[in-house]
Amino acid sequence: MMTPLLPGFSIITCTRNSEPWLDESIASVLGQEAVDVEYIFVDGQSTDGTLSRIKRIERPIKLIENRCAGISDAMNAGLALATHEIVAFLHSDDFYLHADVLKIVAESFRTTRCQWLFGRTLSAINGQLIPEGYTAPRYSRRQLLRGNFIPHPACFVKRSLLLQAGDFNTKLRYAMDYDLWLRLSLLSEPLEMHKPLTAFREHAGSLSTRERSAAMREDLQVRLAHTGFNPVNRLTHTARYFAKRWRDGVRAQAHEVSHA
């Protein structure tokens, strides 16, 4: 039974040829208990069974078809349709970990009066849920400028705050969420929840897995754009980027040797 005192959610899912993973994602949303959910899909001309699966959902949904200007544009289109108090972007290959996720999030919004919050994710790899390989730092804007530790599928934002911050930057292909978090951080401090809420599926076709180097470069671009003109800070961010890229190269070489 729905709890009237809890805020409702607009869950926005962007899809494109997502049929292999869509069932689990949809089931995780439809299985949420005690909250009102407005379910919004934005599809980028899928040619597999994605659209037919979405249209078989036995409850009212909102669907935008033929949105082909990139993921940022798709998320902006979904946001334009959102009417509920809290907005979340759950990509079609990700899913909520249990039926109480949104209830827990809604209660946290209600009791703390925060404007946005984020939890943690588990990695879904080959049918297994793998814990994160590091401990996320305590939130501060300064720490966020060092690197994006806010997982996209575990972030929930008041719709009113999103409208104040502005849309996703459609010029960005990978770091559009990081750019938005940094803009949100200027308006309100989020509540940080140290518990897994969602699963982030890693597979060869996922954008962040397939194009990691390009994503790292765009992360640096966003970080520098939000750093300002302090030359020491800009040099520090750039140095960290090259150090991380070097470490990735060393790990990749070691992986190739071990599989030779």
**Domain assignment present for 135:** yes
Residue 97 within a domain: yes
| Positive or negative torsion for Cα 123, 153, 226, 230 | negative
Average pLDDT for residues 58-80, to the nearest whole number?
Answer: 96
pLDDT at 205: 53
Domain assignment of residue 146, given as a range: 9-206
For residues 2 and 10, give the distance between their C-alpha atoms in angstroms, rounded to a whole number: 15
* Domain contains 218: no
DSSP sequence for 49-102: SHHHHHHT-SS--EEE----S-HHHHHHHHHHH--SSEEEE--TT-EESSTTHH
Residue 254 in domain: no
Q: Which residue has the higher pLDDT, 56 or 1?
A: 56
Tokens of 104: 């827990």
**Residue 235: predicted pLDDT:** 81
Q: According to the model, what pLDDT value does residue 4 have?
A: 52
User: Is residue 222 domain-resident?
Assistant: no
In a domain, 98, yes or no: yes
Q: Per residue in 220-234, pLDDT tens?
A: 999 999 988 788 778
Confidence band of 259 (pLDDT split at 50, 70, 90): very low
Q: What is the pTM of this model?
A: 0.88
Q: What share of the chain is helix, strand, coil (3-state, %, to 5)?
A: 45, 20, 35
Q: What's the total number of domains in the chain?
A: 1
CATH number, domain at 62? 3.90.550.10
Compute the distance between CA of residue 37 and CA of residue 85 in angstroms, rounded to an integer.
10
Does 143 fall in a domain? yes
Any domain includes 229:
no
pLDDT of 250 strictly over 90? no
pLDDT of 257 reads: 43
Query: pLDDT > 90: what percent of the chain?
Result: 77
pLDDT number for residue 253: 53
Say what percent of the chain tops pLDDT 70. Answer: 90
**pLDDT of 241 higher than 90:** no
228: left (phi over 0), alpha (psi -120 to 50) or beta: left
